[in-house]
Structure 1
Amino acid sequence: MDTKTAHQTTIPEPRNSTEKEQNVEILEQAQTSNEELWIQQYDLLAGKSKEELDKINKKVVSKLDWRFLTTITAMLLMNYLDRINVSNARLAGFQRDAHMSDVEWSAGISLFYVGYIITQVPANVIIAKGNPRILLPCIMLGWSAVTICMTAITSPAGFMICRFLVGVTEGPFIPAVALMTSSWYTKQESPLRMAIWHAGNIVSNIISGFLAAGILEHMDNIANLHSWQWFFLIEGIVSILVAIAAFWGLPKWPDNTGEYFFTKEESQMAQYRMKVSAGGQVEDDQGGYWEGFMMAMRDPFTWLFAAIHFALILSQAFKDFFPSVVETLGFSKMETYLVQAPPYFIAYIVCLVVSWSSGRFGEACWHIVACMAACLAGAILMISTLNVGARYFGLILLCSGPFLGLNLQLSWETTVVPRPRTKRAALVAFANCVSSVSHWFSPYFFLTWQAPRYVMGGGLLILGCALSIGLVILTRWYAMKKNKAIEKEEERTGVINPWRFAT
């Protein structure tokens, strides 16, 4: 989306590299002049010195980090725990006790994503125009209640119904959190912050292994309940407590969050800093629900990022079967629960470091390519050798790649399409929706008879990695093409446009 400037600046067409550098300086000066004009629209900020503005900005970021970011990270942690809890419950006999075949089990895993898909786009567009402070905790209460109900499952049909309902209630959540993060943090801040909450996906796998070791190994037959029933019950109760706390931890949107979260001065700073980050576009939404969706559908970036998201999710198809893959290494059941943690812990550290680097240097494409190349190597190791050390190293590479790639992709797509909010909401939800289609068929690539190599599953991961690498390079090329078109228009008209598409 091209950004209109607040005033016009003319520059001559560059004839050599020296003049090109001078024009870059003029472009930066034009952006600074625009900022000076934009800040006049905020009466509590106008006239303040740079030092005073920086101090207010630090207060805004600090409140967002300690209150908003902490809250959504806790919520996402429970979200991911709820999504993957069935994997470890399976090792504790859940599939056997519910009388499920491998095909019925995989069907239940797939049905989660049917429910997950159908709610994402409409719910995220509604949240974009609604009150996320109320809607997100209510969504969380919904999936928590269904998780508790899973303790009563005794048949394949019950498993399929519950997983479908969990998908329905969880579907809107991650797109909404990505939307909120992009509405509160600048394009430089967004990659690291998204990594912190998105790493809940990674941390949940660490915690899940320890929870499984503690609950599934020591609580069987307590109060006449199987250990997997305690697993669902405890997670559901904790999730409800987090949802209740979230009513006090979440803001609304920068243009309408009240003084319960920010002072009036800080509220204006929150709006101003996002306007600067978006090159002059305000966060205030435009049009109705349908208009934002259609704007997203007409933008080629939507389809490119949807394809990238699909490939990235394909490359992490192993996550629902990770405990089963680790089990093939030959450890005892307790050791199998515990050795799941180190690969995800390493992935967590890598995720934070690489995401910081992406935001610091304003680059997404090659960071994603490097991550997916590592994941591809891990998939090859998984299917090509039975050496325990080599396979375990391959699992570390598997965990470090696609989760990080997905985080960077989310930050990239919300930076490329900053405004209006409903368009961004539709893009994020649609991309997530398209990617979830892979879950309809990927569970059938990890059936138990394939153990220990899981060659079909590994082949699927390799395909996802290769597609991811090709698609992000294609998207970078398209963004650079759009930027060259902006530069040519500047040369033709002499009007500076400070907006550039992120690469």
Structure 2
Amino acid sequence: MTKSDSDIDIHTESISLTEFNPVLSTVLSVNGKKITVHDDDVDVAMKYIDDIDNFQLDPIYEKKLLRKIDWCILPLLGALMSCQLMDKTTNSYASIMGMQKELNMTPKEYSWVGSSFYLGYLVFQYPANRLLQRFPLSKTLSTAVIIWGIILMCHAACTNSAGFLTCRVLLGIFEGFMNPSYILLTSQWWRKSEQFMRTCIWWGMQGFGTILGAGIAYGLQVHRGGHHEFASWKCVYIITGCITIFLGIISLVHIPDVPTKAWFLNEKDKLYVLERAKENQQGFGNQKFKMSQLKEAILDPCTYAFFFYGMSYCIPNGGFNNFGSILLKGDFGFSTADALLMNMPGGGIDIVFPPIIALFNYYFLKNRRLLSMIIVNLIVVAGMCLLNFTHNRGPKLAGYLSFYLTAAASAGLASIISSNVAGTTKKIVINTSYLMGYCVGNIVGPQTFNETQAPGYAGAKIAMLVSLSVGALILIYLYFLYQWRNAQKDKYIAEMGDKYQVPDNIAFTDLTDMENPKFRYSL
């Protein structure tokens, strides 16, 4: 295939993307391992590799493109994340608005309201990730969002604990599509150096969900009260369900399955997106399940580090999501209305703090995001000490609110998976591992709130402190492991010298981070 100069001129306004199916016989030797790459092994982006051969980026044009991507993708990811958090915390609001009494729900059954959601999330996590790999990403995500909104509205029709718990399990199944979808979209659209900031923005927008959900619950409690045939707590689920369905429909028509199908990009923009993806040494995905990548993921210690970090973060997260309002009312002494309002400062911290940490990381830590995450985790550990060991309401409240700082660390870990795990099957497996830990933590978290320890719940507070301390140690381990792996790759390639030849199209061969010699881990 030949191409004219105008086909690769970066100033040409109309460039066509020519599809072709490459048949590769390249044998790569990576750390002594030989890998033969066939045509069905490659990334979907390989279809367009011929069009970006010798393609050069114009930095000025690229900045304009980046702004376009940010404005078209980030707001919807942020809105979906807001809705996701708002939907999960509806229990915390409804619990003090009369839900438990109306459904004749015992304290033990209420503990399982939070845990049952993550039981569904856990059981369906691998199937959800596999469906996201096998079928168009945006359509799969949007369908799950719409179904999730319908199930949320069904909560209002429940008349007993059993029906309500069933709805929670089903809700967990369909919400299990969300986080892995956001991580995959982030790896498709942004460079590694850009991903931490963007992940902090969309992850931090869960705080807007906290503010909006608390505001809706407060408005219903104060202005409508509970003396109606249709209870106010039921209205919370109806309203949030409608918002969720609306966003699912918007997502379906707005977010493309792959960047090369984006309705808001012209042909030149699409070539830029492909060239930018080469730097990540990752493409847009491969629908084939690869046993070799599954085995590598199982043997990779990072898989287990991500699992245990997800668990360490979510033991306190599960407690706060389901018992936060109860703590504020019982332990801190706020009224029902004030307890609902006191969820809002935490939401504000979620929105503002993660981007601030991302900027601090960029300007002062040379983009070493794991160091930023370690610092944040240690600050939250100090906050949990205040919550556990002080008695004045002011310091205790500061400790309570410090938990919301973990949004920056959890966003950082999502961006680490996006940046540091290559190979579609391996990314799916590690995504699953992290989110299984996330589920286990959220199942365990509410169970640490023992009724006999109310209203202070001393055991739950100690569990939060221990969990977050373990999370800090895991982040330190990951930092040194990735540093060592980069050094090993550099050493091996230096020893090989001119004998080692790497194909130019290796970025789109769907190799894993450990197979690809050009892949470097972000610290």
Given the two structures, how large is their TM-score scaled by the length of structure 1? 0.85
1:244 to 242, 249, 272: 249
The match for 1:23 is none
Distance apart, 1:364 and its partner CA: 2.3
Q: Give the number of aligned pairs.
A: 460
The match for 1:132 is 137
The match for 1:415 is 419
Matches within 5 A, 1:70-85: 70-85=75-90
Tell me, which stretches of 5 or more residues in structure 2 are unaligned? 1-25, 30-45, 501-516
Matches within 5 A, 1:153-168: 153-168=158-173
Distance in 2 separating the partners of 1:139 and 1:397: 32
Match of 2:436, as an amino acid?
Answer: C
Distance apart, 1:47 and its partner CA: 6.0
Matches within 5 A, 1:385-400: 385-400=390-405
The match for 1:491 is 494
CA spacing shift, 1:152–1:357, aligned 2, 3 Å: same
Is the Cα contact below 8 Å between 2:450 and 2:459 reproduced in 1?
no
The match for 1:355 is 358
Match of 1:427, as an amino acid?
Answer: I
The match for 1:22 is none
The match for 1:300 is 301
Match of 1:305, as an amino acid?
Answer: F
1:176-197 CA deviation, whole Å, 9 max, x = no partner?
Answer: 1111111211111111111111
Distance in 1 separating the partners of 2:520 and 2:448: 41
Matches within 5 A, 1:377-388: 377-388=382-393
Match of 2:173, as an amino acid?
Answer: V
The match for 1:227 is 232
Distance apart, 1:489 and its partner CA: 1.2
1:419-442 CA deviation, whole Å, 9 max, x = no partner?
Answer: 222321221122111231122222
1:141 aligns with 2:149: no
1:109-161 CA deviation, whole Å, 9 max, x = no partner?
Answer: 21111100122222223212421221111101111111111111121101110
Match of 1:204, as an amino acid?
Answer: G
Distance apart, 1:201 and its partner CA: 2.3
Distance in 2 separating the partners of 1:157 and 1:286: 38
Is the Cα contact below 8 Å between 2:206 and 2:351 reproduced in 1?
no
Moved more, 300-309 or 444-453: 444-453
Distance in 2 separating the partners of 1:356 and 1:250: 27
1:170 to 158, 171, 175: 175
1:239-288 CA deviation, whole Å, 9 max, x = no partner?
Answer: 1111111122212123xx3252321221121111011132xx54452742
The match for 1:475 is 478
Matches within 5 A, 1:49-448: 53-220=58-225, 224-254=229-259, 257-258=260-261, 260-278=263-281, 281-285=282-286, 287-288=288-289, 292-320=293-321, 321-327=323-329, 328-358=331-361, 361-400=366-405, 402-417=406-421, 419-448=422-451
1:94-114 CA deviation, whole Å, 9 max, x = no partner?
Answer: 011100101111122211111
Distance in 2 separating the partners of 1:76 and 1:383: 30
Distance in 1 separating the partners of 2:301 and 2:308: 11
Given the two structures, how large is their TM-score scaled by the length of structure 2? 0.82
1:453-497 CA deviation, whole Å, 9 max, x = no partner?
Answer: 321111111111111111111111211221221232133222586
Is the Cα contact below 8 Å between 1:445 and 1:456 reproduced in 2?
yes
1:265-322 CA deviation, whole Å, 9 max, x = no partner?
Answer: 21121111011132xx544527426555444223222222222222122243432211
Is the Cα contact below 8 Å between 1:317 and 1:461 reproduced in 2?
no
Is the Cα contact below 8 Å between 1:45 and 1:268 reproduced in 2?
no
Q: Give the SS at the match of 2:193.
A: coil
Distance in 1 separating the partners of 2:453 and 2:69: 46
The match for 1:455 is 458
The match for 1:31 is none
CA spacing shift, 1:302–1:211, aligned 2, 3 Å: same
Which consecutive segments of 4 or more residues in structure 1 shift more than 4 A?
A: 5-8, 44-48, 289-292, 495-498
Q: Give the SS at the match of 1:117.
A: helix
Distance apart, 1:358 and its partner CA: 3.3
CA spacing shift, 1:47–1:341, aligned 2, 3 Å: closer
CA spacing shift, 1:313–1:221, aligned 2, 3 Å: closer
CA spacing shift, 1:84–1:139, aligned 2, 3 Å: same
CA spacing shift, 1:188–1:143, aligned 2, 3 Å: same
Distance in 2 separating the partners of 1:238 and 1:286: 32
Tell me, which stretches of 5 or more residues in structure 1 are unaligned? 9-37
Distance in 1 separating the partners of 2:89 and 2:66: 32
CA spacing shift, 1:356–1:286, aligned 2, 3 Å: farther
CA spacing shift, 1:7–1:383, aligned 2, 3 Å: closer
The match for 2:511 is none
Match of 1:411, as an amino acid?
Answer: S
CA spacing shift, 1:136–1:477, aligned 2, 3 Å: same
Q: Give the SS at the match of 2:251.
A: helix
CA spacing shift, 1:241–1:223, aligned 2, 3 Å: farther
Distance in 1 separating the partners of 2:153 and 2:223: 20
CA spacing shift, 1:391–1:266, aligned 2, 3 Å: same
Is the Cα contact below 8 Å between 2:146 and 2:245 reproduced in 1?
yes
1:77-109 CA deviation, whole Å, 9 max, x = no partner?
Answer: 111111110110001010111001011111222
The match for 1:466 is 469
Q: Give the SS at the match of 2:87.
A: helix
CA spacing shift, 1:346–1:282, aligned 2, 3 Å: closer
Distance in 1 separating the partners of 2:233 and 2:134: 39
Q: Give the SS at the match of 1:485.
A: helix
Is the Cα contact below 8 Å between 1:218 and 1:227 reproduced in 2?
no
CA RMSD, 1 decimal? 2.6
CA spacing shift, 1:347–1:75, aligned 2, 3 Å: closer
Distance in 2 separating the partners of 1:169 and 1:54: 40
Match of 2:381, as an amino acid?
Answer: L
1:26-79 CA deviation, whole Å, 9 max, x = no partner?
Answer: xxxxxxxxxxxx9x955368565x5xx224423432232112211121112111
CA spacing shift, 1:47–1:240, aligned 2, 3 Å: closer
